[in-house]
């Protein structure tokens, strides 16, 4: 499966992903700039903040409560904000597009 | 006195002796908040032992000048507490650095809150989000991008003004200069008086005493009042001026500004001041020190300046400029097999979690190209995570880019004088010589 990150400079980076990983891990493994994943995927640092494209909102699910708490304290939060450590890759997300917010 | 806190190499006789002495003490008497452990670096033996023998450690009042408290020393336990503001409340005092009553009822905690200062760092949700949200724009990515050229110009000017071939104090001439300039910008405070900000921060974080920022408690009160009056004046002036992106203007123009009490504003001012002062200052000094003690790492950096960001993160972990934050339990909480009673204080020792071998390999060693250098506890985790972390990294990155462009070597002479504090892990002074320019 493939996922696409729209970077802060508006260029795009499409990478191969295996199902079952945190989207943050996919980004860090591929050195996607703007995704740091400092806390290791615990929704405790907000360094993997992304905006999810409208067509993928439903498939990527709802914010978790820890994620919501961090987003309450993060820059540039919108309705489509997610911490991508809380999104798990699966075949249904093949073609997913997210925009990197940066922190 | 042992000085280095890097114990990756074989221990010196003094270090071995210090370690032996710590291991010979009765376990229950160990008091990680005892300031005497810090200038010597002995604190790392205290934590090494606690992580192995008593990771959730209770220090009784008879062994501590700060009253009884609990210590979390393992990465996982610190992370669990820091991300659980419901059970581990920040409401009240967030360091151990002053004596407090034994344990407190909810009424007493509230009374203390009303008497003392309070701030975004010592608030729980929902107040916390309001205060943090008000000031965060000053250090948001867009504003940092705007500040970068300014910081670079200042860093260059500071470095170009340093003497060559002569001993000087790196802390005073570089670390304090750069961070004071940045602070003055963030507060939109007159640049020519920037050292006043540094001094107020030092007064706030250190106990009064001979050789300290202030000699006695009366002078401390005078200094604190002076900061409060200055801060208040600036806040009032900002209210009648156009909104800008300095901390005071952001507070003054917050939609919640009329709800902010003087005590809250003062608290926010203190946290923003201290948060931007010691931490980055001591990490800048720490980076020069750590690289001088680890020639292989220094060579790696000079051969490959692309390692600067990774070196910066590794230094932030290795230095851990704020050793801990405290919380208070809101109920009886079980953690790692121990039950911490409701109302007790809990110190989350970031400085220990950052050396936890179960989480970080070769944790005592300074390795600038380690695999996950950003994974450290120095900024905390959860809703109180350091607001200015990116600004700290930015200043460190810029000063090193400018240093590598100018100086082929920086030699540390002797050992630095370390801070006498169990909260601020840093340096009072560090003598260096720069033999020549590039």
Q: What is the pLDDT of residue B311?
A: 98
A97 to chain B, closest Cα gap in Å: 22
Task: Annotate B303-359 with DSSP letters as a single string.
Answer: H-GGGHHHHHHHHHHHH-SB-EEEEEESS-EEETTEEEPTT-EEEEEHHHHTT-TTT
pLDDT at B207: 76
Which of these, B427, B384, B409, B418, lies nearest to B82 by C-alpha position? B384
User: CB pairs below 8 Å between A and B: how many?
Assistant: 50
CA-based nearest residue in chain A for residue B374: A38
Q: Which residues of chain B have a CB within 8 Å of the CB of A70?
A: 382-383
The residue among B121, B375, B387 with the most chain A CBs within 10 A of its CB, best to mutate, is: B375
- pLDDT number for residue B217: 83
Looking at residue B104, what is its pLDDT? 58
Which of A40, A47, A73 is closest, CB to CB, to B383?
A73
Residue B424's Cα: distance from chain center in Å?
5
- Distance between CA atoms of residues B375 and B360, nearest Å: 9
Does the CB of B116 have a partner CB in chain A at under 8 Å? no
Model pLDDT, residue B2: 38
Is A9 at the interface with chain B, CB within 8 A? no
Please answer yes or no on whether B141 and A38 come within 8 Å at the CB atom.
Answer: no
Kindly list the residues from chain B whose CB atom is less than 8 angstroms away from the CB atom of residue A76: 140-141
Least CB–CB distance from B385: residue in A37, A45, A102: A45
Q: Is the pTM of this model over 0.95?
A: no
Q: Where are the domains of chain A?
A: 2-100
Q: In the block, which residue shows the tokens 């409560």? A: A65
Chain B partners within 8 Å of A73 (Cβ):
128-129, 132-133, 136, 383, 385
What's the pLDDT at B109? 59
Contact B375 A38 (CB under 8 A): yes
- From chain B residues 54-113, the ones with a CB under 8 A of any chain A CB are 79, 82-83, 85
Residue B169: how many CB atoms within 10 A of its CB?
A: 18
pLDDT given for residue A67 in this prediction: 96
Q: How high is the pLDDT of residue B4?
A: 47
d(CA A49, CA A98): 10
B224 or A56, which is more confident? Answer: A56
Nearest beta carbon to residue B374 from set A38, A75, A102: A38
Considering only the beta carbons, identify the residue of B140, B374, B383 that sits closest to A69: B383
Q: Are B326 and B348 in contact (CB under 8 A)?
A: yes
Q: Contact A73/B133, CB-based, under 8 Å?
A: yes
Task: Quote the pLDDT of residue B123.
Answer: 86
Angle, vertex CA A15, rays to CA A13 and CA A17, nearest 5 = 150
CB contact under 8 A, B125 and A45: no
Give how far A81 is from chain B: nearest CA, Å. Answer: 16
Q: What is the pLDDT of residue B111?
A: 56
pLDDT tens figures, A26-36: 999 999 999 99
- B247 to A38, B137, B242, B252: CA distances (angstroms): 26, 8, 13, 9
Please answer yes or no on whether B141 and A75 come within 8 Å at the CB atom: yes
| CA distance from start to end of chain B | 36
Residues of chain A neighbouring B390 (CB-CB closer than 8 A): 103
- In chain A, what residues touch B372 (CB-CB under 8 Å)? 40
Q: Measured between CB atoms, does B370 come within 8 Å of chain A? A: no
Tell me what pLDDT residue B103 has.
Answer: 57
Token digits of residue A91: 């075949």
- The reported pLDDT for the residue numbered B206 is 79
CB contacts of A75 in chain B (<8 Å) are: 136-137, 140-141
Tokens of A40: 């290791």
What CATH homologous superfamily does A2-100 map to?
Beta-grasp domain (3.10.20.30)
Determine the distance in angstroms separating the CA of B137 from the nearest CA of chain A, rounded to an integer: 7
Distance of alpha carbon A5 from alpha carbon A50, whole angstroms: 9
Of B129, B374, B385, the CB nearest to A36: B374
| Cα nearest neighbour of A35 on chain B | B374
3-state secondary structure B349-403: EHHHHCCCCCCCCCCCCCCCCCCCCCCCCCCCCCCCCCCCHHHHHHHHHHHHHHH
Nearest by Cα to B367 from B265, B424, B293: B293
Report which of B67, B72, B106 is spatially closest to residue B89, judged by C-alpha positions. B106
The secondary structure element, H or E, covering residue B49 is: helix B43-53
Question: What whole-number distance in Å separates Cα of residue B347 and Cα of residue B270?
Answer: 20
In the predicted model, residues of chain B with pLDDT beneath 50 are 1-4, 6-8, 99, 101-102
What is the pLDDT at residue B205? Answer: 82
Interface residue A38 vs chain B (CB under 8 A) = yes
Q: What is the DSSP letter of B425?
A: -
Per-residue DSSP letters for B111-172?
HHHHHS---GGG--TTHHHHHHHHHGGGGSHHHHHHHHHHHHHHHHHHHHTS-SSSEEEHII
Picking from B83, B129, B374, the nearest residue to A66 by CB comes out as B83
Confidence of residue A69 (pLDDT cuts 50, 70, 90): very high
Q: How many CA atoms lie within 13 A of B212 on its CB side?
A: 20
Residues of A in contact with B148 (CB under 8 A): none
């Amino acid at each position: 499966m493939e996922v696409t990150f729209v970077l802060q400079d508006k260029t795009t980076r499409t990478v191969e992903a295996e199902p079952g990983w945190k989207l943050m891990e996919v980004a860090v493994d591929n050195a996607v700039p703007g995704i740091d994943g400092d806390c290791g995927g615990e929704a405790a640092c907000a360094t993997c903040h992304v905006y999810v494209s409208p067509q993928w909102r439903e498939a990527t699910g709802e914010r978790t409560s820890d994620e919501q708490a961090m987003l309450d304290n993060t820059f540039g939060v919108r309705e489509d904000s997610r911490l991508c450590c809380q999104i798990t890759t699966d075949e249904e997300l093949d073609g997913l597009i997210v925009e990197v917010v940066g922190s | 006195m042992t000085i280095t806190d890097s114990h990756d190499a074989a221990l010196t006789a003094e270090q071995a002796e210090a370690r032996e002495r710590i291991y010979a003490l009765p376990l229950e008497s160990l008091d990680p908040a005892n300031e005497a452990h810090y200038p010597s670096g002995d604190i790392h033996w205290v934590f090494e032992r606690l992580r192995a023998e008593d990771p959730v450690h209770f220090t009784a009042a008879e062994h501590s000048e700060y009253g009884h408290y609990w210590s979390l020393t393992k990465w996982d336990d610190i992370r669990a507490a820091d991300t659980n503001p419901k059970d581990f409340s920040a409401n009240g005092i967030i360091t151990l650095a002053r004596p407090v009553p034994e344990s407190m009822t909810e009424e007493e905690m509230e009374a203390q809150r009303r008497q003392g200062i309070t701030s975004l760092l010592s608030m729980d949700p929902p107040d916390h989000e309001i205060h943090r949200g008000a000031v965060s724009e000053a250090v948001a990515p867009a504003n940092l991008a705007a500040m970068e050229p300014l910081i670079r110009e200042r860093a260059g000017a500071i470095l170009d003004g340093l003497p060559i071939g002569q001993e000087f104090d790196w802390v005073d001439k570089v670390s304090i200069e750069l961070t004071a300039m940045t602070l003055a910008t963030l507060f939109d405070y007159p640049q020519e008086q920037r050292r006043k900000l540094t001094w107020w921060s030092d007064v706030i974080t250190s106990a009064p005493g001979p050789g300290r920022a202030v000699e006695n408690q009366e002078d401390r009160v005078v200094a604190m009042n002076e900061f409060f009056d200055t801060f208040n004046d600036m806040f009032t002036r900002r209210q009648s001026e156009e909104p800008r992106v300095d901390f005071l203007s952001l507070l003054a123009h917050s939609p919640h500004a009329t709800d902010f009490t003087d005590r809250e504003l003062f608290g926010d001012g203190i946290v923003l001041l201290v948060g931007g002062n010691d931490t980055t200052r001591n990490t800048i000094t720490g980076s020069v020190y750590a690289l001088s003690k680890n020639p292989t790492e220094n060579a790696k950096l000079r051969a490959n300046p692309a390692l600067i960001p990774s070196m910066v993160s590794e230094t932030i972990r290795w230095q851990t400029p704020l050793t801990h934050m405290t919380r208070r339990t809101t109920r009886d909480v079980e953690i790692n097999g121990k039950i911490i009673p409701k109302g007790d204080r809990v110190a989350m020792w970031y400085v220990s979690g950052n050396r936890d071998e179960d989480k970080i390999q070769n944790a005592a060693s300074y390795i600038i190209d380690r695999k996950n250098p950003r994974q450290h506890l120095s900024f905390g985790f959860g809703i109180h995570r350091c607001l200015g972390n990116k600004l700290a990294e930015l200043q460190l990155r810029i000063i090193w880019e400018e240093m590598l462009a100018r100086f082929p070597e920086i030699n540390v002479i002797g050992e630095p004088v370390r801070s006498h504090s169990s909260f601020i892990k840093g340096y009072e002074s560090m003598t260096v010589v720069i033999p020549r320019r590039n």
